[in-house]
Amino acid sequence: MISVGILNVSGYIGAETARLLRRHPFVKVTSVTGRSAAGKPLAETYPHLAALELGVSDELGDVDVVISALPHAASATALLPLIDKGVPVVDHSADFRLKSASEFEAWYKTAHPRPQLLQESIYGLTELHRDEIPGSKLVAAPGCFPTGAVLALAPAWREGLIGADIIVDSKTGASGAGRTADVRYAFSELDANVVPYGLGGHRHLPEFNQELSRLCESPAPRITFVPHLVPMTRGILTTCYAPLAPGRESTTAEQAQELYREAYAGEPFVRVGAAPPETKHTLGSNLCLIYVTVDARTARLVVVSALDNLVKGGAGQGIQDMNLMLGLPETAGLDDVALYP
């Protein structure tokens, strides 16, 4: 068995990584770290993980591969020595996602500790970077919002089906904020509530732009992105709106659906459906469900994607990346269907 270490298992992404890897046929979690929980059994923080019989450590032991669920800045700091030693790394923080150090600094208000790594790291949206991942030692797992939005937009954008004026409106469960004691995420505040945020610019926006521009350099996408907290724990539903490109205005819903089905044919974790998806159909699974249609009244493409932010938008995607890095079957450990209802 290949040994895996998880940095910051006490956060939700770290814990979900541990849960998913429990049934992975080729790897085994052997070392996990976590700030406040260090020195205690993992079961004390997460009773549902008691069967893993793991203790939380201060320092990572020797492992074959590392998955970091640390927050940005802290993650790079912890990972640099491991990267220097040549240990393969999947990073869930934003530290290695953006290719531009200045963009990183502008959005994260801190200088990057090793900007040259930004060119080496691979953006781990597997469906778009599958060929680059196997040879890489450093994969940056995408943010939860970019996963759903870029998968929703990529086929149309790549083909020039849509123009650059793109609206991305996301509805997310509270677990995206992590395991936090912030009063804004208290039950009494979020229950029975919809809370828009990030209207001044959300940190995931540069990922949208980077990935779409990579698929089609010109024109530059002009994306407005607004996320909204809704009263649920897991799940992101993203609704994308874009004008059909000049000359493509008569595209029908059926044609758009055919384009999407072809684009994702054979993808194990993207399913293009005949009806709009619901987030609950992805609960606990690594699937991203996509529905595309055309608003013929306005010649506009509307694409909806749904995923579990802690699986395809988080831990699951990181494992998908790890599988490819290690030469394992891409779907290993990721075949759960959703829990419903």
Binders of its own copies among residues 206 to 225 (CB under 8 A) are 222-224
Give the shortest CB-277-to-its own copies separation in angstroms. Answer: 8
Give the shortest CB-48-to-its own copies separation in angstroms. Answer: 4
Give the shortest CB-334-to-its own copies separation in angstroms. Answer: 12
Q: What is the DSSP letter of 179?
A: S
Chosen residue from 200, 246, 247, 266 binding its own copies by CB under 8 A: 200
Tell me which stretch binds its own copies (CB under 8 A): 88-96, 101-109, 180-188, 319-327. 180-188
Catalytic residue flag (residue 144):
yes
**Does 123 sit near its own copies (CB under 8 A)?**
no
Give the shortest CB-241-to-its own copies separation in angstroms. Answer: 5
Angle (CA) 12-16-18 rounded to 5° is 120
Give the shortest CB-227-to-its own copies separation in angstroms. Answer: 10
**Does 49 sit near its own copies (CB under 8 A)?**
yes
* Site for its own copies, residues 56 to 85, rule: CB under 8 A: none
Token digits for 161? 């089906």
79 or 311: CB nearest its own copies? 311
Residue 236 to residue 148: CA distance in whole angstroms: 8
**Does 259 sit near its own copies (CB under 8 A)?**
no
Q: In what order do the strands lie in the sheet with 89-91?
A: 56-57, 27-33, 2-7, 65-68, 89-91, 138-140, 122-123
Cα–Cα distances in Å, from 52 out to 12, 48, 197, 238, 310? 16, 9, 37, 34, 19
Contact between residue 160 and residue 152 where contact means Cβ atoms under 8 Å apart: no
Supply the DSSP string of 90-159, one letter for each residue. Answer: EE-SSTTT-S-HHHHHHHHSS--S-TTHHHHSEE--HHHHTTTSTT-SEEEPPPHHHHHHHHHHHHHHHT
Contacts of 24 (CB under 8 A, 6+ apart): 319, 332, 333
Residue 12 to residue 248: CA distance in whole angstroms: 43
Residue 138 to residue 86: CA distance in whole angstroms: 9
Residue 337 to residue 276: CA distance in whole angstroms: 18
128 or 177: CB nearest its own copies? 177
> Using CB under 8 A as the criterion, what x/- string covers residues 126-165 for binding its own copies?
---------------------------------------x
Chosen residue from 235, 314, 316, 333 binding its own copies by CB under 8 A: 235
> Using CB under 8 A as the criterion, what x/- string covers residues 287-306 for binding its own copies?
--x-x-x-x-xx-x-x-x-x
1 or 199: CB nearest its own copies? 199
Tell me which stretch binds its own copies (CB under 8 A): 71-79, 126-134, 175-183, 210-218. 175-183
**Does 231 sit near its own copies (CB under 8 A)?**
yes
* Site for its own copies, residues 19 to 38, rule: CB under 8 A: 19, 22-23
Residue 123 to residue 43: CA distance in whole angstroms: 32
**Does 50 sit near its own copies (CB under 8 A)?**
yes
Give the largest CA-CA distance in the chain: 63
Q: Alpha-carbon torsion 306, 67, 9, 26, what sign?
A: positive
122 or 270: CB nearest its own copies? 270
**Does 266 sit near its own copies (CB under 8 A)?**
no
Chosen residue from 84, 131, 182, 217 binding its own copies by CB under 8 A: 182
Q: Which residues are catalytic?
A: 144
